[in-house]
Structure 1
């Protein structure tokens, strides 16, 4: 049951232009969109195309006047509310209408690409987070308990209700954010990259929820840089590039053209459980965009006397129920993990959400310390080595880029601490790393003003610039469009080619199979052959 589901709602947007304060040009130009009850609309585009800006406008997370200059109109037509049929017209003047984000959110549920940013951050459990908006509306407790239990079941969070949201994996956070958007029963759902960081079970759960909402009459807008199983279910696609619509119409029609490839949209399999694969040529004979081809990987030979670049010996780790407490044996997240990665080898680790993949990577550079066992880099134990020193040899790309970015410009970000490793040539190294990920023209940009793909690549550049002997990459394909995936592919191949070991944790099985020498699966606390 969903508390007080709003009436059938249509969302109309006509954005003549929208520019963020301080930007030289518009982020959106001439975008028209309509989301009717019970329909699924997909807005596709690569990094910097403007799709997330459109989503924020639709969800009232970005407001004309406060955040930028908006010319156009927005309209929420709610059944049974005559006043809602009047559009809100914007000209960029000081007397433009003012949207109340709280009232708007009652009808439009919005999940941003950074799912964690929509959570309250003041609730101690998943259950309390799901109930947050219901409490604010004064929903009776008995109804609130029933609603939260229903949403937890629909999002696969039933076993996590008493967990601290801060301890959830990226995929679990994504499902929690979707649950928080659905719990109020809005008439419109706007979902930015709703399948990002999800394992296959999570993908199925979110897709089932989307289709159930459509059956209830919810208007749904999905924003994505993937032409995947979910977006292919849409009645209509809008393709954006540089803030403008380059194609609009049924998916089958657009798949036959060039707009997806030009924008950087990634084509994946139309089946939700299948691995990404290149699309066959359309009947028209036009070329179809496809994921980047695998670059040749160096041959890895275990030579006598060659030490492993990275080794885990009988490593066990877990979190106690209370801060500082020792976990019990039956609550261990990792149990007796043994692993060797040779110089020049690319290893991919897959596994379900919450299996401990990110935790495994944090053990590699000392952010976590094993409760038992040992981690060795280039044959030396890191047990007594400060994390800052370990980081000189093992570069870690975090799952969430914003955890890794803190400087005022992209160049300063890559330069931070680099002169301590390289007395000569640090600026040249930083600029070369930016060029390797395609950000040479953005060295003066503020990191948090870059699109999500740019932030991901910038974080990667901070790792590459140090030439570590081991690269540990946590969900490196997340937020990357087709152009970003090409940069990542080249970086992984180049690192392996110079002899670095690469360990990447990913849910992107297609990417892993195309770009890794070996695949392992982390499940039940142990690494198993894939």
Structure 2
């Protein structure tokens, strides 16, 4: 008889609640992970996956962030918690040496002060006093494993969302933790990036590392796991192998995107005179758009770093792009990580200006227009929803762009510096003659938008208290409430469970039905073909129409 070694990390949670909350986020939840094994915790939005992961990783400390009744064990060290002041304290520094964690918002774990990817990877090794030559070897080895070898000289701030996720993974791996916890690790990754993460995880398992994946979808990584735990409403409802649980009632009830599940039963067809307005003037028109970023050598030189002398050439991201989006048309843009998809979307709202070419919204060239004025016609959902949330309640967040919360003078100040973002979200920057809604009308419209994304009951909550997927739906509501002529969505499906995807589909359908143009970026090819009239690929700086 084979006896399994004791788990390297385990939890037995009777209840965990955040300070100030009456209802527990987790209750009757137990989990154990073993060295050299891949375990997946699957659950829908708000199921408690991220809270469980942060507790296991030491990012949430019982007694500090909330109250825990139960136990946590790391190797031979077992801590018992009774929800009292006498409970033991987790040492986050010591815990993090043994348990690595990559959150959903991978960029949040990057230092933001390192000039290159190589320096970011080395950061954790420097803090441990590793010799410089050994550090260089570890950086090169980890970069190869994480698919970062070609990005070592890049500024982390210029990486795409998928590239930043791989960098965060590399930063967590390079210090050699016994356990690695990954929250939605395949989000925003293209097929190549997904393959690189799978390769890295296999290498870690072979080296004896325990890997725990938290996901709302039974994706390729989850399907490679030896054990699944299904979490629903903070409670473990089922455990077993993927073969045992795939298609089970517990998995279906949890809202998890099951293997092979299709988004809908019908595909959109290209617009025709009978189904749309293909001959109408475009809501969005790009003509010969080109754009490039300053190269790494210039950024390093600007920061006082020593670089090889030579000419500074702009790195072209967009090359002579032409595109027209018609009223009622839904267009998907796909392409590899780092292709410039998010960069392209920022041109639609005026956040970026092309180095040459024109961008027209509803027939108007937006060159030189204030960002907030452009936003009156363009609703932009950022790739990271937290970037556009700043109010005290969910309701106030949606109301922000619907009524005059600031004087014209304050709006003018907002257009400078960081307030430029607020001007974008308000979409009403100093427009002469613009009538803003009364408080009551704004709140009614905001509640309607919240109902459309399933958040009406959360109107009084703080946005920071929402799960990542619900934050994405809230950010979507802030955009929908203004009824823009052009709806621009950057990776809108990331982190959404099956119910969230249905809400997203309904929102896109409604926007298109009222005549808005919709453009969304995604790495999910099945979603793109299922939801768009046209699918375009951005690669090598050029847009190419894809055929089914």
Aligned counterparts of 1:304 and 1:482: Cα–Cα separation in 2: 32
Taking structure 1 as the reference length, what is the TM-score of the superposition? 0.90
Q: Output aligned runs, 1:197-346, within 5 Å.
A: 197-268=188-259, 277-278=260-261, 291-294=263-266, 299-301=271-273, 306-321=280-295, 322=298, 331-346=315-330
Hey, what's the Cα distance between the residues in 1 that align with 2:6 and 2:145? Answer: 21
Q: 1:336-375: CA deviations, max 9, x gaps?
A: 0000111000000000011000000000110000100000
Instruction: State the secondary structure of the residue aligned to 1:473.
Output: strand
Range that drifts further, 392-401 or 121-130: 121-130
8 Å contact from structure 1 (residues 294, 489) kept in 2: no
* DSSP-derived class of the 2:8 partner: strand
Query: 2 CA distance for matches of 1:409 and 1:150?
Result: 45
| 1:133 is the counterpart of 2:112 | no
The aligned residue for residue 182 of structure 2 is 191
The answer as to whether partners of 2:40 and 2:215 remain within 8 angstroms in 1 is yes
Contact 2:255–2:498 (Cα < 8 Å) also in 1: yes
**Deviation readout 1:33-77 (Å, 9 max, x if unpaired):** 111111111000011000100000011000100000011111111
Show the counterpart of 2:428: none
- SS of 1:106's partner is helix
Conserved? CA contact 2:287–2:359, under 8 Å = yes
Supply the distance in 1 between the matched residues of 2:283 and 2:80 (Cα, whole angstroms).
Answer: 61
Distance 2:460 2:23 in 1: 17
**Corresponding position of 1:285:** none
2:483 corresponds to 1:439: no
* Counterpart for residue 95 of structure 1: 86
- Inter-partner Cα distance in structure 1 for 2:235 and 2:526: 31
| Aligned residues of 1:297 and 1:496 also touching (Cα < 8 A) | no
The CA distance in 2 between the partners of 1:202 and 1:298, in whole Å, is 30
Structure 1, residues 249-308: CA drift from partner, whole Å, max 9, x if none? 11111113211221111124xxxxxxxx42xxxxxxxxxxx5354586794537586211
SS in 2 for 1:102: helix
Q: Secondary structure at the match of 1:375?
A: strand
Q: Secondary structure at the match of 2:220?
A: coil
Tell whether the 8 Å contact from 2:99 to 2:180 is kept in structure 1 after alignment: yes
- Indicate conservation of the 8 Å contact 2:103/2:109, yes or no: yes
Match of 1:14 among 9, 12, 28: 12
| 2:294/2:314 contact within 8 Å kept | no
SS in 2 for 1:109: strand
The residue number in structure 2 matching 1:423 is 437
Query: Does the C-alpha gap of structure 1 residues 404 and 292 become closer, same or farther in structure 2, counting only changes over 3 Å?
Result: farther
In structure 1, the residue matched to 2:108 is 117
Change (3 A) 1:303 1:454: closer
Counterpart contact for 1:298–1:344, Cα < 8 Å: no
Counterpart position of 2:333: 349
Cα offsets for 1:70-120 (capped at 9, x unmatched) = 11111111xxxxxxx141111111121111111111111111111111122
What's the counterpart of residue 31 of structure 2? Answer: 33
2:43 paired with 1:45: yes
What is the SS of the residue equivalent to 1:520?
strand
Q: CA deviation at 1:122?
A: 2.3
Deviations 1:301-350 (A, max 9, x none): 3758621110000000011134699x977621101000011100000000
8 Å contact kept, 1:296–1:493: no
CA deviation vs aligned residue, 1:222-265 (integer Å, no higher than 9, x gap): 11001111111111111011100111111111113211221111
SS in 1 for 2:84: coil
Aligned to 1:80: none
C-alpha distance in 2, partners of 1:300/1:431?
35
The Cα of 1:221 is off from its aligned counterpart by 0.6
Q: Return the offset for 1:514.
A: 0.3
Specify the SS of the correspondent of 2:293.
Answer: coil
- Aligned equivalents of 1:36 and 1:341: distance in 2? 51
Q: How far apart, CA to CA, are the structure 2 residues paired with 1:56 and 1:297?
A: 43
Deviation at 1:9, TM superposition (A): 7.2
Hey, what does 2:464 align to over in structure 1? Answer: 448
Distance 1:237 1:378, change over 3 A: same
SS of the residue corresponding to residue 332 of structure 1 reads strand
CA RMSD for the aligned pairs? Answer: 2.0
Distance in 2 separating the partners of 1:303 and 1:53: 47
Q: Does the CA contact (< 8 Å) of 1:297 and 1:493 recur in 2?
A: no
SS of structure 2 residue aligned to 1:384 = coil
Partners of 2:352 and 2:232 in 1: CA distance: 42
**Unaligned stretches of 5+ residues in structure 1:** 1-6, 78-84, 269-276, 279-289
Partner of 1:377: 361
1:148-190 deviation line (CA, Å, top 9, x unaligned): 0100111111111121211111100110111011101111111
How many residue pairs were aligned?
Answer: 497
